[in-house]
Amino acid sequence: MISPVPFAFRDFPLMPSPARSVVTRIAPSPTGSMHIGTARTALFNWLYARHCGGSFLLRIEDTDRERSTEASVKVILDGLNWLGLHPDAPPVYQFARSGRHREAVETLMHKGGAYRCYMTAEETAAERERARAEGRAIRSPWRDRDPPGGDNGPFTVRFRGPLEGETLVDDRVKGPVLFQNRDLDDLVLLRSDGTPTYNLAVVVDDHDMGVTDIIRGDDHLSNAARQSLIYQAMGWETPLFAHLPMIHGPDGAKLSKRHGAQAVGEFADLGYLPEAMRNYLARLGWGHGDDELFSDAQAIQWFDIRDVVRSPARLDWNKLNHVNAHYIRLADEERLADLALEALKKKGASPDQEDRRRLLAAIPFVKESAKTLVELSDLTGFALLRRPLALESKTSAALDVEGRSLFERLVQALRQAPDWSPDPLLSALRSFAAAEGIGLGKIGAPLRGMLSGGLPAPDLAGALTALGREESLGRIADALSQAR
């Protein structure tokens, strides 16, 4: 159970220019993890708000007291924070506003827009079955009954929707969508325990929060019709709707655990950078010509709700990896070192300052090829090994009498290098091979083995530089004496 934190948005001047500044919101329910689709919806709301110079709000939809938990609220807050999508005001907790919701229902009852329904759970279930069989919406017998006198037992409050006519949802991504009012049922506004339901609470909160543009998943498209009716009954201006297609797994089915990841926290653990997620997610369902890799500033500048795609998209790990690799190359090396350190800790290691120093030295030589932070930390593993390294058999095999003397000469050549950095080291290696009349491959493989102990490593000059002069020569010396 979460303890609601009351928040009055009147305290926060959200609309500096009250005229018609854009207000968007993300409204997740804290009932588990934060789905990647929710993250994308948040991203689009954020991009749109930023593009329009409006505000982006967060509302926690915790009216389901059974399923809402405080831990899930934290997951949402952490997820948005990690993604860098910071709301412009403290979160609104929906449950804390239930008094206001009841007040709205009260108003609606006075206007004749709602009524008490005394159907029992069994009666409702039976009516639902009948309605389904007859291919019509569920109807309550209490709709047109005179206000019942006496005690008829527990009741819900239902919306009295129009039986005729039609409701247009002029969706900005789906286009105009027409609903026949007779197909819409009288939804429950207040449960028999007096708590408000979702469809009522969204409308009241969105109105009170001044939300001008509702951008959400298209699983809410038909709800938009019901909600429009409530706005009208309340005499409130209906916001603009934009319903985003959903994100599916690589196989086109609803994205779930079995597709590798589903929650934003999992993507973080898998080693994806938040800026890569923003870029990739932006391209899922939205595009700006042929642009694939772009900054937040560009996305904000370019974002237009009219360019949002109508059809659902599938999560593509290959492309995500590609985008992530791009941002790893761009990332600051100190930051990457810290992130790689975290990845190491998650694997159970307990790296120290010396490890961080070695990591940082190696990162410039591996950041070009790492697709994720996990890979990045794997690729730097060779640098973290402590002397003496265990040699692979194929390495020691190359160190027979002849091999040892070859590498002793190589050590001399390396010592002559004017500077311990990639270019001089590479030319030292090349001219040594030429002087010996052998190919680089002849010395490359064993040398790599001596330096990395068999772990993946960058190119030779890079590996030597990453390790530094002392460590490199030390590892070679270890190997030579070991092979003796």
Residues 280-319 that bind RNA (CB under 7 A): 283-287, 289-290, 292, 307, 309-314, 316, 318-319
Task: Identify the residue among 21, 69, 181, 199 touching RNA (CB under 7 A).
Answer: 199
Q: Which tokens is 474 given? A: 């030390």
Minimum CB–partner distance for residue 457 and RNA (Å): 5
Task: Identify the residue among 37, 113, 161, 245 touching RNA (CB under 7 A).
Answer: 245
Minimum CB–partner distance for residue 238 and RNA (Å): 17
Instruction: Report whether 24 contacts 56 (CB < 8 A).
Output: yes
Site string for RNA, 157-186 (x = CB under 7 A): -----------------xx-xxxx--x-x-
Minimum CB–partner distance for residue 64 and RNA (Å): 4
Site for RNA in 109-148 (CB under 7 A): 119-121, 124, 128, 131-133, 135-138
Task: Identify the residue among 193, 237, 352, 470 touching RNA (CB under 7 A).
Answer: 193
- 73-to-1, 78, 243, 275 alpha-carbon distances in Å: 10, 9, 24, 23
Site string for RNA, 417-446 (x = CB under 7 A): ---------x--x---------xxx--xx-
Q: Is residue 222 a contact point for RNA (CB under 7 A)? A: yes
Q: Is residue 396 a contact point for RNA (CB under 7 A)? A: no
| CA 128 remoteness from chain centre | 38
Minimum CB–partner distance for residue 440 and RNA (Å): 3
* Of 21 and 468, CB closest to RNA: 468
Sequence-ordered list of residues with C-beta below 8 angstroms from that of 20, at least 6 positions apart, any chain? 212
The helix/strand/coil state of 447 is: helix
Site for RNA in 321-360 (CB under 7 A): 321-322, 325
Does 111 qualify as catalytic in the annotation?
Answer: no
Instruction: Report whether 381 contacts 473 (CB < 8 A).
Output: no
Minimum CB–partner distance for residue 483 and RNA (Å): 19
- 406-to-195, 409, 412, 414, 445 alpha-carbon distances in Å: 83, 5, 10, 12, 13
Q: What is the DSSP string of 183-216?
A: GS---EEE-TTSPBPHHHHHHHHHHHTT--EEEE
Minimum CB–partner distance for residue 177 and RNA (Å): 5
Can you tell me the distance from the alpha carbon of 346 to that of 349, in angstroms, rounded to the nearest whole number? Answer: 7
The helix/strand/coil state of 263 is: strand
Size of the site for RNA (CB under 7 A): 88
| CA 427 remoteness from chain centre | 46
Minimum CB–partner distance for residue 323 and RNA (Å): 8
Task: Identify the residue among 53, 141, 154, 418 touching RNA (CB under 7 A).
Answer: 154
* Of 122 and 144, CB closest to RNA: 122
Q: Is residue 416 a contact point for RNA (CB under 7 A)? A: no
Q: Which tokens is 34 given? A: 């934060």
- 103-to-187, 194, 200, 201, 239 alpha-carbon distances in Å: 17, 11, 11, 11, 21
Stretch touching RNA by CB under 7 A, among 101-109, 320-328, 343-351, 387-395: 320-328
Sequence-ordered list of residues with C-beta below 8 angstroms from that of 130, at least 6 positions apart, any chain? none
Q: Which tokens is 380 given? A: 């730097």
Task: Identify the residue among 24, 29, 238, 262 touching RNA (CB under 7 A).
Answer: 29
With 0-12 / 13-18 / 19 or more C-beta atoms within 10 angstroms meaning exposed / middle / buried, residue 286 is buried
Q: Is residue 198 a contact point for RNA (CB under 7 A)? A: yes
Q: Is residue 448 a contact point for RNA (CB under 7 A)? A: yes
Task: Identify the residue among 253, 349, 397, 438 touching RNA (CB under 7 A).
Answer: 253
* Of 183 and 419, CB closest to RNA: 183
The 10 Å CB-count burial string (b at 16+, else e) for 242-252 is: bbbbbbbbeee
User: Taking the CA of residue 255 as centre, how many other CA atoms within 13 Å lie in the half-sphere pointing to its CB?
Assistant: 22
Task: Identify the residue among 24, 72, 197, 380 touching RNA (CB under 7 A).
Answer: 197
* Of 9 and 198, CB closest to RNA: 198
Among residues 74, 111, 254, 257, which one is catalytic? 257
The helix/strand/coil state of 378 is: helix
Minimum CB–partner distance for residue 359 and RNA (Å): 17
Instruction: Report whether 107 contacts 118 (CB < 8 A).
Output: no
Q: Is residue 461 a contact point for RNA (CB under 7 A)? A: yes
Task: Identify the residue among 69, 107, 181, 192 touching RNA (CB under 7 A).
Answer: 192
Task: Identify the residue among 52, 203, 221, 229 touching RNA (CB under 7 A).
Answer: 221
Q: Is residue 55 a contact point for RNA (CB under 7 A)? A: no
Can you tell me the distance from the alpha carbon of 103 to that of 106, in angstroms, rounded to the nearest whole number? Answer: 5
Catalytic positions are 257
